[in-house]
Amino acid sequence: MLESLARLFPNAPIYTLIFDKKRFQKKFEGHKIIPSALNKLPGSARSYQWYLPFMPGAIESFNLSRYDLVISSSSAFAKGILTQPNMLSVCYCHTPTRYLWTDTHAYVRDLKIPYVVKKLLPFTLTKLRAWDYLSAQRPTAFIANSENVRKRIKKYYGRDSTVIYPPVMVDEFKKIENGGGDYFLAGGRLVAYKRFDIVVKAFNKLGIPLKIFGEGPLYKDLKSLSKKKIEFLGWVEKKNLSSLYSGARAFLNPQEEDFGITMVEAMAAGTPVIAYKAGGALEIVKPNVNGVFFDEQTWEALADTVVRFKREDFTSEVVSESARIFSEENFASSLTSFLTALSENHAKNSG
pLDDT-based confidence at 143, cuts 50/70/90? very high
Whether pLDDT at 203 is above 70: yes
Q: Are 11 and 120 found together in one domain?
A: yes
The pLDDT value recorded for residue 49 is 81
Q: Are 332 and 284 found together in one domain?
A: no
Cβ atoms 138, 90 nearer than 8 A: no
Whether pLDDT at 110 is above 80: no
Q: What is the pLDDT of residues 271-282, one digit of tens each?
A: 999 999 999 999
Cβ atoms 302, 274 nearer than 8 A: yes
Alpha-carbon distance of 292 to 290, in angstroms, equals 7
Residue that wins the pLDDT comparison between 268 and 21: 268
Alpha-carbon distance of 159 to 222, in angstroms, equals 38
Cβ atoms 343, 169 nearer than 8 A: no
pLDDT-based confidence at 138, cuts 50/70/90? very high
Amino acid occupying residue 349: N
> Smallest Cα–Cα separation from 190: which of 166, 167, 224?
224
Residue that wins the pLDDT comparison between 349 and 287: 287
> Smallest Cα–Cα separation from 253: which of 230, 285, 207, 217?
285
Q: Are 317 and 342 found together in one domain?
A: no
- pTM: predicted TM-score of the whole model, two decimal places: 0.85
Q: What is the pLDDT of residues 154-198, one digit of tens each?
A: 999 999 999 999 999 999 887 665 556 789 999 999 988 899 999
Amino acid occupying residue 265: E
**Average pLDDT of the residues of the chain:** 92
pLDDT-based confidence at 87, cuts 50/70/90? very high
Alpha-carbon distance of 122 to 100, in angstroms, equals 9
Non-local CB neighbours of 112 within 8 Å, separated by 6+ positions: 217
Q: Are 112 and 181 found together in one domain?
A: no
CATH number at residue 214: 3.40.50.2000
Q: Are 113 and 98 found together in one domain?
A: yes
Q: Which domain holds residue 15?
A: 2-167+328-350
Q: Are 186 and 145 found together in one domain?
A: no
Q: CA distances (Å), 126 to each of 88, 101, 105, 110, in order?
A: 29, 10, 12, 18
Q: Are 198 and 318 found together in one domain?
A: yes
pLDDT-based confidence at 116, cuts 50/70/90? confident
- Write the DSSP assignment of 281-303 as a string of letters: HHHH--BTTTEEEESSSSHHHHH
DSSP 8-state symbol, 167: P
> Smallest Cα–Cα separation from 210: which of 235, 236, 239, 247?
247
Number of domains in the chain: 2
Least confident range from 63-72, 170-179, 243-252: namely 170-179
Non-local CB neighbours of 43 within 8 Å, separated by 6+ positions: 50
Alpha-carbon distance of 282 to 292, in angstroms, equals 10
Whether pLDDT at 346 is above 90: no
CATH number at residue 7: 3.40.50
Q: How much is the average pLDDT of 47-59?
A: 90
State percent of the chain over pLDDT 70: 98
The pLDDT value recorded for residue 179 is 56
Alpha-carbon distance of 318 to 4, in angstroms, equals 26
Q: Are 117 and 133 found together in one domain?
A: yes
Whether pLDDT at 93 is above 80: yes
What is the H or E stretch that residue 262 is in? helix 261-268
Q: Are 320 and 333 found together in one domain?
A: no
Q: Are 332 and 322 found together in one domain?
A: no
Q: Are 345 and 247 found together in one domain?
A: no
Whether pLDDT at 51 is above 70: yes
Q: How many CB atoms lie within 10 A of CB 284?
A: 25
Cβ atoms 276, 254 nearer than 8 A: yes
Q: Are 144 and 197 found together in one domain?
A: no
Q: What is the pLDDT of residues 253-300, one digit of tens each?
A: 999 998 999 999 999 999 999 999 999 999 999 999 999 999 999 999
Q: How much is the average pLDDT of 62-78?
A: 95
Alpha-carbon distance of 127 to 144, in angstroms, equals 25
Non-local CB neighbours of 240 within 8 Å, separated by 6+ positions: none
The pLDDT value recorded for residue 29 is 85
The pLDDT value recorded for residue 196 is 97
Cβ atoms 321, 170 nearer than 8 A: no
Alpha-carbon distance of 6 to 69, in angstroms, equals 14
